[in-house]
Amino acid sequence: MLERFHSRIPIPEKDVPTLMSKVAQDYDIGVYQSHRIVPVGYEDYNAVLETDKNKYFVKVFALFRNPANINRYVATMERVLEAGVSYPQLLESATGHMSTVAVNGKTVKLCLMEYIDGKTLYELGIQPTQAERAFLIQQAALINGIDYKPPHAPDSWAIDRFLPEYEIKRKAVEPRDQQDIDPVVDDFKKLKVEQLPHAFVHGDIRSTNIMKVKNGKLFIIDFGVSNWYPRIQELAVLLCDLMFDAESPEKFKEMYEWAVTEYQKYIKLTLDELQALPVYARAAHAINVIGPSWERSQGNTEGENNSWLDLGRKGLELSKQLVI
């Protein structure tokens, strides 16, 4: 299973201990002892590095990321921390928050963060409490209030890619799912997306990107697909996972209405946003079917992929309640 994580960087598995030793030296964090891969997510090579002093989180940027993309990623984390978002602190090497490390002629770029001693809500297999949901909505509003428009980072799972991705991957989607997605396509095409208020959006606040530490504190992680999007895109993603309990279908609409009200304690949504949000929420559920269906057609049948597919199907069914 771990082979696909090692394939993300040009350094072979046998040389990763050397890489981690150099990271420890560059950031002056002690002597390398061990490391382990963090096997969640679709993109970078993430690992927990342990030295004789402490544990740290290492993000080694994947092969697909060019220098501009990496600089964007680090700059985004810096802006997020400046705004006071609950996010792990970045550590500095002699060259700043980002470091370039070479092993046997192969070079990678990476950054180092404080280690959060906990697990994601996905790993824990738990739903957030209502108080935690309120905190996450407050954090989402704080993120959306950051005055920052980064260069666009492509994200095939983003709601702004809903229509083109469905067209590309439709053949991988089962007919029963197409029947639920096609009406969402029709409604989404009617939206005037460019006229909706835009903001800085994390774009992926879901269970795999929420860390819960032993004292109960929550951290929002992985701003790799944050972009300048319609503001309601943030809330729509929250509504398709963290604000959605697939085991309590009778509470679906109640949770939706609560989340919208809670968000507006911090940012007042326009009438256009309130009208478009149900379609965006349904599109978010649809993407949780389209992406995993495509991944499955490519041979990815791992647990995380199947979880999103199941969640998306349930969400599509229940989100019919939002059709006016």
Q: Return the pLDDT at 324.
A: 57
Query: Using CB atoms within 10 A of its CB, is residue 64 exposed (0-12), middle (13-18) or buried (19+)?
Result: exposed
How many angstroms separate the CA atoms of 233 and 159, rounded?
Answer: 7
pTM: 0.88
Q: Which domains does the chain have, with CATH numbers?
A: 3-115 (3.30.200.20), 120-322 (3.90.1200.10)
How many angstroms separate the CA atoms of 115 and 49, rounded?
Answer: 9
The yes-or-no verdict on residue 317 having pLDDT over 60 is yes
How many angstroms separate the CA atoms of 82 and 290, rounded?
Answer: 35
Encode pLDDT of 204-214 as tens digits: 999 999 999 99
Q: Return the pLDDT at 1.
A: 56
Using CA atoms, how far residue 233 sits from 8, 160, 209, 221, 324, in Å, is: 28, 8, 16, 17, 20
The strands making up 218-220's β-sheet, listed across from edge to edge, are 118-120, 210-213, 218-220
Encode pLDDT of 75-128 as tens digits: 999 999 999 999 999 999 999 999 999 999 999 999 999 999 999 999 999 999
The yes-or-no verdict on residue 2 having pLDDT over 80 is no
